[in-house]
Amino acid sequence: MSNSPLVQYTKISPHRSERYEAIKKITIHHMAGKLTVEECGEIFQTREASANYGIGTDGRIGMYVEEKDMAWASCSKSNDQQAVNIELANDQIEGEWHVSDLVLSRCIELVVDICRRNGIKRLNYTGDASGNLTMHCYFYATACPGPYLKSKFPYIAAEVNRRLDELTYQDYIETLPDRGYFLKGDGYKENIKMKDQIKHIQRFLNWALGLNISVSGKYGDATEEAVRNFQKAAGIAVDGSWGKDTLVASRTFTK
């Protein structure tokens, strides 16, 4: 299990435990202070608490517990076993406990990196503990992460997912069928055994064209129309079938 290459300061806390579950969640906290990564690291040396990462007032990223280990952060062992915990410095004390745009943007950058390295395809913010983007207050009677950050969780999830979609373009390309499927009359269009391949094509079309067609594995009217639109964008013959020319165009397509 690796750690983020974005880390600029490391001071490992003694307050940590062995992680025996896979990383599936992100939990974001606020520091309740205008702290640097060094100051936050010192607190975790003595206080019986910790986080995997922290982002200081200047946007630098510190690591206090390696990802292979569990931080003592959310007062829930079951959450901490599955979560990477991140502390964000405030630029306002009390009130909304505001967090600067710089710190918020660095948090999003860090979360994208964590998700990519740990195979988290998307963040699901549900507003409670059932999602994989969680808050400290879901597990303990605390104001953390403060009103401002709480209001930003939908934005954080949306922005992380947007970047994950961009970063996974190569994944979409690699999982497309090796040959062009669904040529008219070749029998594949109705072949149920091709369901997984059709799903890969639908995911690619959603990314390439910014669509939201159902990833159903059925090559229906919506998928055929999306293929037509992709063919137009790629400048190749338009017939609505995912043939060899369309496959070749998909492998060199850029937005």
Mean pLDDT by 10 residues, the chain (255 residues): 91 97 97 97 97 97 98 97 98 95 96 92 94 96 96 96 73 65 49 71 85 82 91 91 85 76
Residue 129, CA atoms < 13 Å, CB-side half-sphere: 12
Q: What is the pLDDT of residue 185?
A: 46
How many C-beta atoms surround the C-beta of residue 185 within 10 A?
A: 7
The size of the chain, in residues, is 255
DSSP element (H, E) containing 78: helix 77-82
Decide the pairing of beta strands 61-63 and 9-10: parallel
Domains along the chain with CATH numbers: 9-167 (3.40.80.10), 169-252 (1.10.101)
Does the pTM exceed 0.85? no
Residue 9 structure tokens: 């300061």
Q: What is the pLDDT of residue 215?
A: 80
Residue whose tokens read 């369309």: 246
Residue 61 structure tokens: 């990223």
Q: What is the pLDDT of residue 193?
A: 61
Q: What is the pLDDT of residue 239?
A: 86
In degrees and rounded to multiples of 5, residue 217 shows phi and psi of: 85, 5
Q: Are the CB atoms for 216 and 196 separated by under 8 Å?
A: no
Q: What is the pLDDT of residue 188?
A: 47
Helical axes 221-234 vs 195-209, angle rounded to 10°: 50
Q: Are the CB atoms for 132 and 124 separated by under 8 Å?
A: yes
Q: What angle do CA 106, 109, 115 make, to 5 degrees?
A: 140
In the chain, what is the straight-line distance between the N-terminal and C-terminal CA atoms, in Å? Answer: 33
Q: What is the pLDDT of residue 73?
A: 97
DSSP element (H, E) containing 33: none
Q: What is the pLDDT of residue 178?
A: 61
202 Cβ partners below 8 Å, 6+ apart?
213, 214, 215, 216, 217, 223, 226
Q: What is the pLDDT of residue 186?
A: 45
Report in angstroms the alpha-carbon separations of 202 from 18, 33, 137, 222, 251: 40, 46, 38, 10, 15
37 Cβ partners below 8 Å, 6+ apart?
8, 9, 54, 55, 56, 60, 61, 62
